[in-house]
């Protein structure tokens, strides 16, 4: 026996759990996100059993993984949360807003603890106070008065699109010092089971284990004295061996064993009832449920867990292998490398297509047909690869219910968040950069837009204000709208504030021009500075960030009824539609989204004003003119030649006319980052490679518009 224990210790020492840390951190984060979302959607008056069970399983999965990896602080906090949630799902307690508050605070604390275990420098959370408060609530003691709670619209279930987890079996009262016999096997590699003995030595309080003789080399038998439940043991064991190889049987010789058998799962379980195997069994946040046997006899104690009888295919839940095959974790760097290679392929295909136009179509028909197929397949491949980086907007939208709930509580307001178009997809790079601007817009709606409940009542509105967040595709771009039914923008207030700051704001300004005043740097209509707003930093940064992504922001408002902010963004930053123009022998690309129109002119149509600035009259409107050959110092070899074509582009709400020699056409271009490959060049946002192998610069229309202003 001593040799067997030493062998198991050696295997455990050679088995490095750290290689699985990242998987645990990712899945724990997903479980916390799911638990937080379900807590915010929980109906306190009529809590759904399935929702309570799903929240419990999220905490249970994190606890199981934390215990396995030795993260005792995470395991302790989730154990306390689990105790409270267990009483809620068994209807021993009625859920209250105080319980939701403390569970959400615990979720924040768990994120900090997990960040610490990942080596990040974060502030240590005060978990002792949380554990005490959770314990008091679990014992049914009175809690402090809850903060105002945001009502969340039941737009859709948090688990929409996923397999609904089955409710777990009611928890049993486990006697102290249960004696169990654990049979493991048959196994291809019996040394895996030897690691289980080391778990009892490494995890304090788990219990005692003793290896029993076994006449089969591919099996192991252990006698265990523990206070842990069968589910907790399975959470640990299934990390080393599959659950089908584990059989846990209460020792009949134990005096306390027989009463446990009678307190176990009822002989005829309710539909969907079964064991929950936590973190290591199934997809993140969706633990698999194993149906309990249909009958329990006196010969087989109900507390024992053996290999289950076969389940019919139509009743069987998706297996772990099936769920793993539906998703695959791939690093972003690999996806970016793939997109870069496809971009190179697009460039090569464009070069072949250009050269093929010089060939005799009759003599080279098979070659030209093959190149046409290559063109079509390349476009399909390009679209398929780009879709890999596309992420649903729900990733962003799911952050806001919690943030808005806390903000509404701080401001003493009642706010309802409604979301539409969560499945609308956007490029991952844009998703990461649009989150902060949207966060500010929603905070702005809650702080400045939504009135206090009393004020809303006086106006004949409902006490609950509504903020609507929506996303939809429109052509080659995505439209994101933030709407609220608050007090809207005041034209007079904005004009007076602008004049205070020395901004030229005549009464003749249109409404849209007045609304755009809030994008001026340092502009704020807040009466006083608070920790929420009032410092004049925000809306100008929002517009700057969205403009840098090639997007636009528009505001519409009706005083007394609310306002709407519309953000329009390109679907991706990697490939764009462009207009190719020629200036002398140089070729430039204009983003097609910025191009308004083009027309021919005569030199006499251009007017020169003070300091050499030039203007052109377009339909009774004078527009600044930019000569690209002067901006980029393009050498011109045709003497006395001039650029006869104007291309009108719009950026930051202003328009300018660019002088070019020729419009070459429209095409999709693969954007290459010029700054990382060379250096930042003024008025240039990137570069691309044309079909003939030449490099063409992509013009920064925002930079050119700013240049015209100066």
* pLDDT per residue as tens digits for the range 120-129: 888 888 788 8
Tokens encoding 79? 């154990």
pLDDT more than 70, % of the chain:
74
Distance CA 79, CA 417 (A): 31
Residue with tokens 């029993």: 212
Q: What is the pLDDT of residue 589?
A: 92
> Poorest-confidence range of 157-166, 380-389, 635-644?
157-166
User: Which of the pair, 343 or 295, is modelled with greater confidence?
Assistant: 343
Nearest CA to 700 out of 690, 687, 709, 689 is that of 687
pLDDT exceeds 50 at position 281: no
Alpha carbons within 13 A on the beta-carbon side of 405: 22
Q: What is the pLDDT of residue 5?
A: 41
pLDDT exceeds 80 at position 511: yes
Print the SS3 string covering 234-245: HHHHCCCCCHHH
Mean pLDDT over each residue of the chain, to the nearest integer: 75
Please give the sequence-ordered ranges of beta strands (E in DSSP) within 369-443, or none if there are none.
390-392, 415-420, 425-427
pTM assigned to the model: 0.54
Name the pLDDT band for 49 (thresholds 50, 70, 90): confident
Spacing of C-alpha 409 from chain mean position: 24
Kindly report the backbone phi and psi dihedral angles of residue 151, in degrees, each rounded to the nearest multiple of 5, phi listed first: -80, 130
Q: What is the pLDDT of residue 164?
A: 36
Distance CA 696, CA 280 (A): 52
Q: What is the pLDDT of residue 309?
A: 35
pLDDT more than 90, % of the chain:
8
Name the pLDDT band for 303 (thresholds 50, 70, 90): very low
Q: What is the pLDDT of residue 152?
A: 42
Q: What is the pLDDT of residue 581?
A: 93
The pLDDT of 327-347, averaged and rounded, is 83
Name the pLDDT band for 345 (thresholds 50, 70, 90): confident
> Poorest-confidence range of 31-35, 455-459, 600-604?
600-604
Q: What is the pLDDT of residue 190?
A: 66
Query: pLDDT per residue over 585-604, tens digit each?
Result: 899 999 888 888 998 887 77
Name the pLDDT band for 278 (thresholds 50, 70, 90): very low
Residue with tokens 């930019």: 626
Partners of 115 in beta bridges: none
User: Which of the pair, 545 or 241, is modelled with greater confidence?
Assistant: 545
Task: Give CA separation, 202 vs 68, 69, 279, in Å.
Answer: 10, 10, 19
The pLDDT of 618-642, averaged and rounded, is 81
The pLDDT of 562-581, averaged and rounded, is 84
Distance CA 474, CA 84 (A): 46
The 10 Å CB-count burial string (b at 16+, else e) for 185-204 is: bebeebbbbbbbbbbbeebe
The pLDDT of 72-86, averaged and rounded, is 87
Distance CA 677, CA 686 (A): 10
pLDDT exceeds 50 at position 146: no
pLDDT exceeds 60 at position 300: no
Number of neighbouring beta carbons within 10 Å of residue 327: 9
Distance CA 503, CA 536 (A): 15
pLDDT exceeds 70 at position 579: yes
Number of neighbouring beta carbons within 10 Å of residue 539: 23
The pLDDT of 663-683, averaged and rounded, is 81
Name the pLDDT band for 514 (thresholds 50, 70, 90): confident
DSSP run (H or E) holding 104 = helix 97-117
pLDDT exceeds 90 at position 553: no
pLDDT exceeds 90 at position 468: yes
pLDDT exceeds 50 at position 535: no
Tokens encoding 514? 């007045």
> Poorest-confidence range of 252-261, 405-414, 434-443, 663-672?
252-261
Name the pLDDT band for 658 (thresholds 50, 70, 90): very high
pLDDT exceeds 90 at position 259: no
Print the SS3 string covering 308-340: CCCCCCCCCCCCHHHHHHHCCCCCHHHHHHHHH
pLDDT exceeds 90 at position 469: yes
Q: What is the pLDDT of residue 14?
A: 45
Distance CA 236, CA 65 (A): 8
Name the pLDDT band for 542 (thresholds 50, 70, 90): confident
């Amino acid at each position: 026996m001593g040799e067997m224990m030493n062998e198991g210790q050696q295997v455990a020492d050679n088995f490095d759990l750290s290689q699985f840390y990242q998987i645990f951190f990712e899945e724990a984060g997903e479980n916390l996100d799911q638990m937080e979302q379900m807590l915010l959607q929980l109906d306190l008056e009529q809590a759904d059993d399935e929702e309570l069970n799903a929240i419990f399983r999220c905490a249970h999965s994190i606890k199981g993984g934390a215990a396995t990896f030795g993260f005792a602080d995470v395991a302790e906090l989730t154990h306390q949360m689990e105790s409270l949630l267990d009483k809620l799902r068994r209807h021993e307690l009625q859920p209250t807003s105080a319980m939701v508050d403390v569970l959400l605070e615990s979720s924040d604390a768990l994120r900090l603890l997990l960040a610490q275990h990942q080596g990040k420098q974060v502030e240590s959370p005060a978990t002792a106070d949380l554990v005490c408060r959770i314990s008091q609530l679990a014992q049914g003691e009175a809690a402090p008065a809850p903060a105002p709670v945001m009502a969340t619209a039941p737009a859709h279930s948090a688990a929409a699109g996923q397999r609904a987890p089955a409710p777990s079996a009611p928890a049993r009262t486990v006697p102290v010092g249960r004696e169990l016999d654990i049979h493991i096997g048959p196994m291809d590699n019996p040394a895996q089971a030897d690691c289980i003995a080391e778990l009892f030595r490494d995890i304090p309080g788990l219990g005692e284990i003793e290896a029993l003789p076994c006449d089969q080399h591919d099996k192991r038998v252990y006698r265990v004295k523990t206070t842990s439940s069968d589910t907790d043991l399975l959470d640990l064991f299934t990390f080393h061996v599959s659950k089908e190889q584990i059989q846990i049987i209460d020792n009949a010789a134990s005096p306390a064993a027989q009463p446990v058998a009678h307190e176990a799962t009822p002989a005829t379980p309710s539909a969907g009832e079964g064991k929950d195997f936590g973190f290591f069994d199934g997809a993140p946040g969706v633990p698999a449920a194993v149906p309990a046997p249909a009958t329990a006899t006196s010969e087989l104690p109900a507390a024992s867990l053996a290999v289950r009888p076969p389940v019919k295919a139509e009743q069987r839940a998706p297996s772990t292998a099936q769920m793993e095959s539906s998703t695959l974790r791939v690093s972003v760097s690999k996806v970016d490398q793939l997109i870069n290679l496809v971009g190179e392929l697009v460039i090569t295909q464009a070069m072949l297509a250009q050269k093929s136009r010089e060939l005799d179509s009759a003599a080279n028909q098979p070659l030209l047909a093959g190149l046409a197929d290559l063109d079509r397949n390349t476009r399909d491949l390009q679209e398929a690869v780009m879709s890999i980086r596309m992420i649903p907007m729900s990733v962003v939208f799911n952050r806001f219910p919690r943030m808005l709930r806390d903000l509404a509580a701080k401001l003493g307001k009642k706010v309802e968040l409604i979301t539409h178009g969560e499945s609308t997809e956007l490029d991952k790079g844009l998703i990461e950069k649009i989150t902060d601007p949207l966060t500010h817009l929603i905070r702005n709606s809650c702080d400045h837009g939504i009135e206090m409940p009393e004020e809303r009542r006086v106006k004949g509105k409902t006490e609950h204000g509504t903020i609507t967040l929506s996303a939809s595709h429109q052509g080659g771009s995505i439209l994101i709208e933030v709407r609220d039914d608050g007090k809207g923008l005041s034209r007079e207030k904005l004009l007076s504030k602008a004049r205070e700051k020395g901004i030229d704001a005549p009464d003749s300004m249109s409404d849209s021009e007045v609304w755009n005043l809030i994008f001026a740097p340092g502009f704020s209509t807040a009466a006083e500075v608070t920790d929420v707003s009032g410092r004049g930093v925000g809306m100008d940064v929002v517009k700057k960030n969205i403009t840098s992504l090639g997007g636009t922001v528009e505001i519409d408002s009706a005083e007394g009824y609310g306002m709407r902010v519309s953000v329009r963004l390109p679907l991706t930053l990697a490939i764009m539609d462009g207009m190719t123009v020629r200036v002398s022998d140089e070729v430039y690309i204009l983003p097609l989204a910025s191009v308004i129109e083009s027309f021919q002119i005569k030199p006499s149509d251009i007017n020169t004003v003070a300091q050499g600035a030039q203007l052109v009259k377009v339909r009774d409107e004078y527009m600044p003119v930019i000569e690209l050959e002067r901006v980029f110092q393009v050498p011109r070899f045709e003497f006395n030649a001039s650029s006869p074509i104007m291309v009108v582009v719009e950026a930051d709400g202003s328009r300018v006319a660019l002088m070019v020699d020729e419009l070459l056409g429209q095409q999709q271009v693969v954007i290459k980052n010029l700054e990382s490959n060379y250096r930042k060049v003024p008025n240039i946002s990137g570069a691309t490679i044309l079909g003939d192998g030449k490099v063409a610069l992509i013009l920064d229309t925002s930079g050119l518009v700013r240049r015209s202003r100066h």
